Structure 1
Amino acid sequence: MHLVFEIVTIIAPVALLAAIGFIWVRRGLDYDVAFVSRLSMTLSTPCLIFMALVRSKVDPALLLDTVLASTLAYVIVGLLAWALVRLLKLDLAAYWAPLAFGNTGNIGLPVALFAFGQAGFDVAVVIFAVMAILSFTVGVWVVAGGGSPMSALREPLVGGTLLGSVFLVMGWSVPEWLAASLDLIGQMAIPLMLITLGVAIARLQPRALGPALALCVAKLALCTVVPLGVGLAFALPKMTLGVLIVQVATPVAVTSYMLAAKYRASPDEVAGLVVVSTLLSVVAIPAILAFFI
Structure 2
Amino acid sequence: MKKLFRKHKKRKIIAIVVLLVVLLIGGIYGSILWKFYGGSVGVVSKDKVDTKSKKVKIAKEERKDEDVFNVLLVGTDSRDPDADRGRSDSMMMVSFNKKEGKSTVISFLRDSLVNIDGHGQSRLGHTYAYGGVGLTINTLNETYDLDIQNYITISFDDLVNVIDEIGGVTIYISEEEAEYYRQNGMPDIQAGDVTLTGSQALAHARNRTLGSDFERTRRQRSVMYGIYRKIIENKDPAALLPLINYAVNHVKTNMSVTEMYSMAKEVLAIDNLKMQQACVPQDGTYTNVVYENMQVLEIDFDANKQKIKELLY
TM-score between both structures, scaled by the size of structure 2: 0.27
Q: Which has the higher strand share?
A: 2
Which structure is richer in relative contact order (CA contacts within 8 A, separation 6 or more)? 1
Q: Which has the higher helix share?
A: 1
